[in-house]
Amino acid sequence: MNIDSIQNGVVLDHIQAGKSMDIYKYLHLDRLDCSVAIIKNVRSGRMGKKDIIKIDTPLELDLDVLGYIDANITVNVIRDGVRVEKTHLELPQKLVNIIRCKNPRCITVAEPQLDAVFLLGDPARHTYRCAYCDTAKDRKR
């Protein structure tokens, strides 16, 4: 398989195998007018298998979304064919409008124009809690 290198853009590396399509959806990469390569189940010495996404245009990414989906992702910014920035992600402390509360009595269900705010409750279990009603939401692993 031959995937061309990119000259200017972003490479998301060390994605947990199978999570690349979630990232594609959450970041709305289908709306971009550029090449997006999704490479699934690549052999990795450290992870066993991993996914990689190459985006052939410079863009700002929502690092909170990426950290929520998979906190082990590495974000590489490429300019003129050279990596100029490398960022290791962490679980975000606060999520705004990334996930929705499932509690039917939560104010965000009755008032959908309100921001859905979740705070990291348990980092070990990747559990977030609604800032309004305290309903727990476990991150899919």
1, part of any domain: no
78 with 101, same domain? Answer: no
Q: What is the mean pLDDT of residues 114-130?
A: 94
15 with 45, same domain? Answer: yes
13 with 73, same domain? Answer: yes
Residue 135 contacts by C-beta under 8 Å, 6 or more apart in sequence? Answer: 101, 102, 103, 106, 129
Q: What is the mean pLDDT of residues 27-54?
A: 91
Flag whether pLDDT at 57 surpasses 80: yes
Residue found by looking up tokens 């070990």 in the block: 124
Nearest partner of 20 among 34, 46, 35, 41, judged by Cα? 41
Indicate if the alpha-carbon torsion angle 55, 14, 119, 77 is positive or negative. negative
3, part of any domain: no
84 with 47, same domain? Answer: yes
100 with 31, same domain? Answer: no
Q: What is the CATH number of the domain that holds 24?
A: 3.30.70.140
Q: Model pTM?
A: 0.82
Count the Cβ atoms, other than its own, within 10 Å of residue 106: 19
SS3 label, residue 115: coil
83 with 100, same domain? Answer: no
109, part of any domain: yes
107 with 79, same domain? Answer: no
Flag whether pLDDT at 1 surpasses 70: no
Share of the chain above pLDDT 70, in %: 96
Q: How far apart are the first and last CA of the chain?
A: 28
Flag whether pLDDT at 100 surpasses 90: yes
Host domain of residue 102:
94-136
Q: What is the mean pLDDT of residues 24-51?
A: 90
> If pLDDT is split at 50, 70 and 90, which confidence band does 2 have?
low
